[in-house]
Amino acid sequence: MNENSQYLGPFYRFAIDQVGVGVHAIDKNGKTVLYNDQMRKIEGLHSTDVEDRSILEVFQFEKEESTLLHVLSTGKPVNRVKQTYWNNKGREITTINDTYPIFEQGQLIGAIEFARDITALERLVYQPLRRYNEPITLSSLTAVSETMRLVISKAKSAAQVRMPLLLIGEAGTGKDLIAEGIHHQLTPSNDQFISLFCHSSDPLLVNKFREELKNVSNSTIFCERIDLLSLELQKELLHILQTSTGKHNLFIASIGSDPIDLVASRSLSRDLYYYFASMTITVPPLRERKEDIVPFVEDYLRRLEDRHGQSKVTIDSKVQELLLSYDWPGNLKELELLLDETSTMLTMESTLTEDLLPVQFRYKLAVQDKSQVTASDFLLTSEKDLMPLDQYLREAETYYLQKAVEKFEGNITKAAEALGMSRQNLQYRLRKLRNARN
């Protein structure tokens, strides 16, 4: 380092921690030399976990799995790679990554990756009912199963009672839409529906909300995923809600899993929970109400017909069978994304057939089928059962990891925490084991 760059060092370090993008740089040996605050938030890791360690060691990647190492080996940039993560608070994060080689005097000395968090943007894009400009009423939601009809009927009662309400359910089950449906059900009606998107622990978010609320009355205010705010911000939020009285606002909140577990794991403030707990509605995951799958697809196709003047599309029976056989860990959001992808292929077709389903979905189905290993597969009952140790360990590992993931209902971050490994490591191992089985 020359004198000038030594002098500027602290300025650069400060600037790197203030920028809104995640920054991760490695030297030519693959060791992390830079890992900023934003990257730590995105990855859910501490800088001490990664600094001065090889990324192969931290993430247990194969060389070809890491874009940073790929760029280091080719000396060429890789741009606009989209990735979705679940961080250690169970928060879904989508990033766009750009990775560049770093040269000094013509020599390749390392690589640097920039990750932009585009989660909020992604959510705006994937709001189909909104993009069709339909008002979101309780009757515009797909609710054919008995459990979902019960949810709608409870939502109607909640609209009559007008008390703080808590919506409980996995991501993508439709809590957001139900909150808006309740708003449209109110008589007398409220003037506006406002969403507070709590997917960030930025204090500015709550401060802005406090300011906005001063001028808001007669409104429905939906605090979406309060369990993703830090406990400190949850306390501030509670204070704001408790002091905003006499303005005829209706407060609704949502959380991503059982409130008792969330309170026990210190992800949800007990007092904030009690504020909303006078009325709760649990929205079941799609795998527990599969009767809603085909009607949801039909509703989606009907909107497509109305919007593009497309002729009627029917769903092939094999496709129905496949859709019903899948577990939908991402619930209706995942189904909707599948339909978004499929619809681009549907312009000339009158039947939704298996070959129009995206390859990734067929892959997911195949993986699901192959992963139905049971504990008895590991019992040794006769010498005939003996298999090479490598194969046995691989199968045992697959079984154990899958059980851990199931226990945490598909939440990779929580499963990884319980298994004492990083989320990246668990995701990588699952992928590797799946590939080995195929």
Which chain residues interact with ligand ATP by CB under 6 A? 126-129, 141-143, 169, 171-177, 224-225, 254, 256, 332-333, 336
Which one, 35 or 209, has the nearer CB to ligand ATP? 209
**CB 141, min distance to ligand ATP, A:** 4
Residue with Cβ nearer ligand ATP (173 or 249): 173
| Distances from the Cα of 275 to the Cα of 160, 219, 269, 279, angstroms | 18, 18, 10, 10
CB of 171 to ligand ATP, least distance (A): 3
Give least dist CB 42 to ligand ATP, A.
17
Q: Which is nearer to ligand ATP, 44 or 172 (CB)?
A: 172
Q: Is 253 exposed, middle or buried (0-12, 13-18, 19+ CB in 10 A)?
A: buried
> What is the closest distance, in whole angstroms, from the C-beta atom of residue 311 to ligand ATP in the complex?
23
Nearer Cβ to ligand ATP (17/341): 341
Residue nearest to ligand ATP (CB): 174
Residue number with CB closer to ligand ATP (333 or 414): 333
One DSSP character per residue, 368-410 reads: HHHT---GGGG---SGGG---HHHHHHHHHHHHHHHHHHHTTT
Which CB sits closer to ligand ATP, 15 or 124?
Answer: 124
**Rounded CA separation 110/102 (Å):** 5
Minimum CB–partner distance for residue 128 and ligand ATP (Å): 5
End-to-end CA distance of the chain: 50
The residue among 110 and 174 lying less far from ligand ATP, judged by its C-beta, is 174
Smallest distance from the beta carbon of 130 to ligand ATP, in angstroms?
8
What sign does the dihedral 54-425-86-125 (CA atoms) show? positive
Minimum distance between the CB of residue 223 and ligand ATP, rounded to whole angstroms?
11
Collapsed DSSP state (helix, strand, coil) of residue 34: strand
Q: 257 in helix, strand or coil?
A: coil
Nearer to ligand ATP, 358 or 371 (CB): 358
Residue labelled with tokens 């069978």: 321
Helix runs in 86-202, H state only: 119-125, 128-131, 146-161, 175-185
- Widest CA span in the chain: 77
In the complex, what is the shortest distance from the CB of residue 225 to ligand ATP, in angstroms, rounded to a whole number? 5
Identify whether the C-beta of residue 408 lies closer than 8 Å to the C-beta of residue 257.
no
Contacts of 226 (CB under 8 A, 6+ apart): 198, 234, 237, 253, 254, 255, 268, 272, 276
Q: Are 172 and 334 in contact (CB under 8 A)?
A: yes
